[in-house]
Structure 1
Amino acid sequence: MDTLIHDLQDITIRRISVSEMDNNVYLLTAKASGAQVLIDAADDFPAIRHLLRDAAADTTATPALKLIATTHQHWDHVRALKELVEATGARTAAGTDDAEALPVGVDVLLSHGDVGNFEGFDLTAVHLRGHTPGSIAFVYQDPAGPAHIFAGDSLFPGGVGNTQKDPERFTQLINDVSERLFDAYPDDALVHPGHGKPTTLGAERPHLDEWRARGW
């Protein structure tokens, strides 16, 4: 199975789906430096190891996993995290309000607007409260194309993430998604969710009022 989903000017983006929960694991690799960031070590360490091997073809340098970034604390997004950290020694990052629930120590505590600088690309942390207190979306702004938003479980085709029918949490999430994603990025921005298929902000934008009215 070809894991390469985007071959961009400066980086590649690879994706695999793991576990019975159809969790997406994303890997960004800088073509020039080999620097890598993996988003959500969700499950299936052997499959993730194979993903890393695949990405060696994407750079002329020696690949180096610089960071394992976790979108949020839920168990289905972290089942391979400990094993991957032990195997690679990579640093970890997660939202400040979710970090204590992770199965490993978190090296980089993320707040809204934090920017991670890697050799060849940057990632911006967008704090989206509601699905969990510390959910983080990671945004890569391609200098030659649209933004790529790795949304975790906060935004999907057809709606925002699950807030367990809690009106306060839903309002917080729909507000954050509206203000921090839809108001901040144009319609061509690609959304890579924590489960399932991608979408764009443009495809979802017309439905924001409908989502808010239905309450989920």
Structure 2
Amino acid sequence: MTYTGAVTPGGPADVRDLPALTISKLSVGPMDNNAYLLRCKETGEQLLVDAANDAPALLDLIGSAGLSTVVTTHQHGDHWQALLAVLKATGATSVAHAADADGIPDVDETVADGDVIAVGDCSLEVIHLVGHTPGSICLLYRDPSGSPHLFTGDSLFPGGVGNTFGSKENFTSLITDVERKVFGRLPDETWFYPGHGKDSTLGAERPSIPEWHARGW
């Protein structure tokens, strides 16, 4: 079946099969958060992006293969409600950016911009984007056989950057980081996976950047 990225809370995961990496996207309630399970095909090692909620559903998705790492994209509570339960059940290492670590329970390791997180033989580059929170991160997978894949948390969505809660300073910081570190570095065919809702590509969103600047959110 063709991957669409359209998932609903309580529904099945949507699975994208890349040559070296499998991406499973699952929506969990009550805030329709996306969680992403990444599995290295060569080693079978698995990494979870955002243990947002519904630990039983996440553990069912993880299955018997186990879990090596949970990366929390930022400190907002809707992105880590199931974190402690998943860590307890799997023994995985909990990772987050240093600037948000104090707001996330049980962080084992902190990362910074440019760091690399391994999933078996696959690599995820950490991109630090300041504005939605001080320590929000994206994870970039450069598929050797195709287009890049970017897990953006709540920093970039179809239709705009993440919520900066009325702060002009935070909005300026976030949109500047997104333009420079994401749109300025990555091609239009880059597929991105946000913390809520449907996916998109940078090419689909790039023409709207001037409108995002003008509206200020």
TM-score (norm 2): 0.93
| Residues 1-216 of structure 1 aligned to structure 2 (within 5 Å) | 2-53=12-63, 63-104=65-106, 106-216=107-217
Structure 1 CA distance, aligned partners of 2:122 and 2:134? 27
Alpha-carbon offset, residue 2 of structure 1? 4.6
Contact 2:52 2:83 (8 Å CA) reproduced: yes
Structure 2 CA distance, aligned partners of 1:90 and 1:149? 22
For residues 124-164 of structure 1, the C-alpha deviation after alignment (integer angstroms, 9 at most, x for no partner) is: 00000000000000111111111111000000000000001
**Structure 2 equivalent of residue 60 of structure 1:** none
Structure 1 CA distance, aligned partners of 2:100 and 2:120? 27
Look up the equivalent residue of 2:160 and give its one-letter code: G
Look up the equivalent residue of 2:24 and give its one-letter code: R
Report the number of matched residues: 207
TM-score (norm 1): 0.93
For structure 1, list consecutive stretches of 5 or more residues without a partner in the other structure: 57-62
For structure 2, list consecutive stretches of 5 or more residues without a partner in the other structure: 1-10
Look up the equivalent residue of 1:20 and give its one-letter code: P
Alpha-carbon offset, residue 209 of structure 1? 1.0
- C-alpha RMSD of the superposition: 1.1
Look up the equivalent residue of 2:206 and give its one-letter code: R
Look up the equivalent residue of 2:27 and give its one-letter code: S
Structure 2 CA distance, aligned partners of 1:13 and 1:27? 6
For residues 98-134 of structure 1, the C-alpha deviation after alignment (integer angstroms, 9 at most, x for no partner) is: 0011121x22211111111332200000000000000
Contact 1:4 1:12 (8 Å CA) reproduced: no
**Identity across the alignment (%):** 50
Look up the equivalent residue of 2:101 and give its one-letter code: A
Look up the equivalent residue of 2:105 and give its one-letter code: P
1:41 alignment partner, SS class: coil
Look up the equivalent residue of 2:23 and give its one-letter code: I
